[in-house]
Structure 1
């Protein structure tokens, strides 16, 4: 499995994450009981399916090795394995500069 994955934030979620230093999840994450991530080859599909028409999104690259056993790869859309975080995402797990969509 890849050692990195991506989390898509709204600008407000990203600002709160930066202020708090930890992210417990977006409403959909909290409802499902884990934080949704996408591997690099899944990112565009996630944007198209769940964020269509939204602007001002922040795409953060996450180092999964920092999270250890909090990450589980589970079957989701079309039978593909997606990374899910069962716990909080610390800001120090974000690597590289985030990408901002327009």
Structure 2
């Protein structure tokens, strides 16, 4: 069993084609990828940049949910990724996988929309607004 990293928050990247409703419902719809995997894919603050660039490089915007680990820790397993990954805090690390059929308003502390515009995700991730929101 993998050692549990010391984190305060974990993050869910949500594709812009499925924006989370405002206000958040008790249970958000699961992505097709999460349904196929049998768990909800999450990332730590250190893993967000790599996850974003690996899976969402060309997306102009992304919704990001911040979730206090205390709200979900009983249903989280820290596991190796099922696809090869490298760089930006992703390689040689375990990821938080939420084994629950529900993630919603009771668990999610806040939601932000990050817009890449004409720049890169690195540029967005380097802004003070994102740096101060993305808490370990």
**By the TM > 0.5 criterion, same fold?**
yes
Runs of 4+ in 1 over 4 A off after TM superposition: none
Specify the alignment match of 2:123 in structure 1.
none
| Change over 3 Å in CA distance of 1:38–1:22 after alignment to 2 | same
Specify the alignment match of 1:59 in structure 2.
64
1:9-28 to structure 2, matched below 5 A, reads 9-11=14-16, 12-15=18-21, 18=24, 20-28=25-33
Give per-residue Cα distances to partners, 1:60-87, cap 9 Å, x unaligned: 1111211132111111243311001000
More strand by share: 1
Structure 2: state its 5+ residue gaps. 86-90, 116-136
Alignment size in residue pairs: 100
Q: TM-score, normalised by structure 2?
A: 0.65
1:45 is paired with a residue whose SS is helix
Structure 1: state its 5+ residue gaps. none
- RMSD in angstroms over aligned alpha carbons? 1.9
- Give distance in 1, aligned partners of 2:99 and 2:51: 19
| Change over 3 Å in CA distance of 1:99–1:71 after alignment to 2 | same
